[in-house]
Chains A and B, each alone.
Chain A
Amino acid sequence: MKRIKPFRVPRGMENGQNHALAKKIQLDTSESYRGATLFRGDLSVHIKREGLLQVCRLLKIDPTLDFDYPVHITSVDYPNDPERFEVVYEFFSIKKKHRIRLKTRVPEDDCTIESVTSIWAGANFLEREVYDMMGIRFEGHPELKRILLPDDYDEGYPLRKNFPIQGRGWRDRFDFPV
């Protein structure tokens, strides 16, 4: 059985703990907060999976944060990490003109996370794309099904690192002249 290592904020980046937005999130949702990094001026706040909806509501509703614009939602696969998938949310505030990136981790054996479609309507298609490409299930999503690939596609999730570039299934048996 794999031993679960405690989560560590990646090293080698400038520390973002002192950023005003990170401090605010840490103060209001301290039990979900894991750390913050600042790289090339982009603030990333790492949070726990359980506290995602709580943090997102804070981001949307709090007048000093006021993140009303969903920029993108994506996911990154780290096959060697205990919590394999990283779901990345990027938000922008039209009025305050600041942006933030939320990062949360999802383990492979329980590949689910809560959906934020109830907070930002634009998250609908973005979350469907993440599900389609990486296989992360969003709980509470109104219509979670494949979006770019066909509905009956059963060869897995193509953006995972163990998915071969040429594809799976019948495409494996091509004989390429070398």
Chain B
Amino acid sequence: MDFINAIVLLLNYIFVPALSYGSQLALGAIFVSLIYGILRFAYFTAGDLMSFGTMFTILFTWYFQSLGISLGVLPTALLAIPFGIMITILYVLVKDKLVFSYYRFKKSPPVMLAMVSIGTMFVTQAIVRIIIGPFDRRFFDGEKFILKANEFKEMTGLNEGLTIKSTQVITLFVTIIVVSILFWFLNKTKTGKSMRAYSDNEDLALLSGIDPKRVVMITWIIAAILATIGGTLYGLDKSFKPFTYFNNMLPIFAAAIVGGIGNPFGAFLGGYVIAFSEILVTYAYRKFFIYLLPESIEPDSLLQLLSTDYKFAVSFSILVVVLLFRPSGIFKGKII
């Protein structure tokens, strides 16, 4: 019984939260990785693009709520996501036309484009803050829990409860759907293949008649879709605050690089690597060992490797280690 308790404890505090956080990071990392692979620069607006998409989703959610439309047990935001996506797509395409296309045409070095993306980062951040303000917003409605700790305890007769929030399940569900569609698109369709070809070897792709404009446009559209979905899922699960989203850029980059930048599948896994390591390293294992070990050698200390304050630091340390020992990422992305 103690053993099962210990497992449930880990499930509740590590596995479930890390899985949903990892999915949110993974969605971000995939589009950062895609942009890196196809447009060839580090897209520093990543976090803020996510907050931009989320903001419009929230605005539409509020609008629907005011109209009295809801999805019952599911959050209304799910209904609003497509509208948020549309505005975000429009925004990235306009941004590309006004800002990025010029540098692409001039064949500027990637560093230049990264700098330009810092400019757009400032602008995006300003737009988000001007429209919705810098404050914490919660826009979740519908059923909050799928499984409450108490119900679980009653059901199984265990000491430890298992809580599963509906947002966590939704996150996982949506991520699986979106990512499978994306990989099907990249691997099976003609457009997807042309994108991968363009990413592998630009000159060769151009020679074989791939239209670069189309590839770039589709990349941006995918980025907008992933950013909005990832951002909204994060906002549903936790809460929406522009500053947090900006900060999320850092673990997202870490995930993309750990997975091998330019390699979307690696980035997808990288998101989970980062999320799990963040939570595994900062979790206090005391209770876990109390269940497992006999009473005589029960631990006194918290058995926490690092305090939770260092959550971010963990993922960055992993990144540094990966960069040192395997600069192309765990799953072989572009060689740096």
Partners in one complex: no
User: Which B residues have a C-beta under 8 Å from some C-beta of A?
Assistant: none
User: Which A residues have a C-beta under 8 Å from some C-beta of B?
Assistant: none
